[in-house]
Amino acid sequence: MASPQVYGEFCRATLAKIILFNRRRGGEVAKMQLKAFLEKDTSALHKDVAVGLTKFEQKLCKHFSRVEIRGKRGRKVAVLLSPDRVDSLTQLISKRKHCGVPEENKFLFARPHCLTPYRGQDCLRAYANECGAQNPELLRSTQLRKHVATLSQVLNLKNHEMDQVADFLGHDIRVHREHYRLPEATTQLAKISKLLLAMEKGSLTNLQGKTLDEIEIEDNIDFTDSELSEESDTEEDDNPPYPQTEMGKCS
């Protein structure tokens, strides 16, 4: 049965998983707005763009959803969501009112009876301590971002591929390079998602010397849900965000 307590635990767990997979700053994901999720990119992969991708990369584009959020210094950054994360978030949204989330709370990871979201770093810290990790203090968004940046050096990435990884992480690119690039959304769905999957499964050691184009992951990803959703004509709810109003402090 839905309750504010169950809702809160489910919300915090989902938030932590999304931060962990994307190696994203905890505050960036935590402050994701409901409107951004409802307006996530669901456009089909363009046929001309698909020609430059492998079959596996094409499936990844269908499998993952991409949500644009505001990052550090107001930069636009992306969060990639697998179908099970999308289902979890959709379920959370359906229980907001029943679990006491005010209509005025514009955040996706909203706290009951408050106008604020859950804190990403607090969620990571709590689950890191509970999971039995040998070094739970390393399971923080800052360390995770350094981790992906460091392990990316294992791969023989081209200059523009390093730019793509840096851009996804929200890092400033020192020198702007003029070259042909796939559209930003397609690059993140098809190529950066492979790197994230490899890190999640601890298989980067087997990818030494490879470029993003050469990475192929033997994975048990179930693409069925993604392919079925592509055939569905259902539309996302595009209701406007709730207006911000003042409320009392959270208990």
> Could you identify the residue written with the tokens 């992306």?
78
CB 121 within 8 A of CB 177: no
CATH number of 4-229: 1.10.443
Encoded tokens for 9: 């635990």
Could you list the pLDDT tens digit for every one of the 251 residues in the chain? 679 999 999 999 999 999 989 888 888 999 999 999 999 877 778 888 888 888 898 999 889 999 988 877 777 888 999 999 999 999 999 999 999 999 999 999 999 999 999 999 999 999 988 888 888 888 888 778 777 766 666 566 677 777 777 777 776 555 333 322 445 676 677 778 888 888 887 776 777 777 777 777 765 666 666 555 555 544 444 444 444 444 444 54
Helix, strand, coil percent values for the chain (each to nearest 5): 50, 5, 45
Q: Give kind and range of the element (H or E) at residue 76.
A: strand 76-81
Please name the residues in contact with 75: beta carbons below 8 A apart, sequence gap of 6 or more: 170
Report d(CA 50, CA 45) in Å as an integer: 7
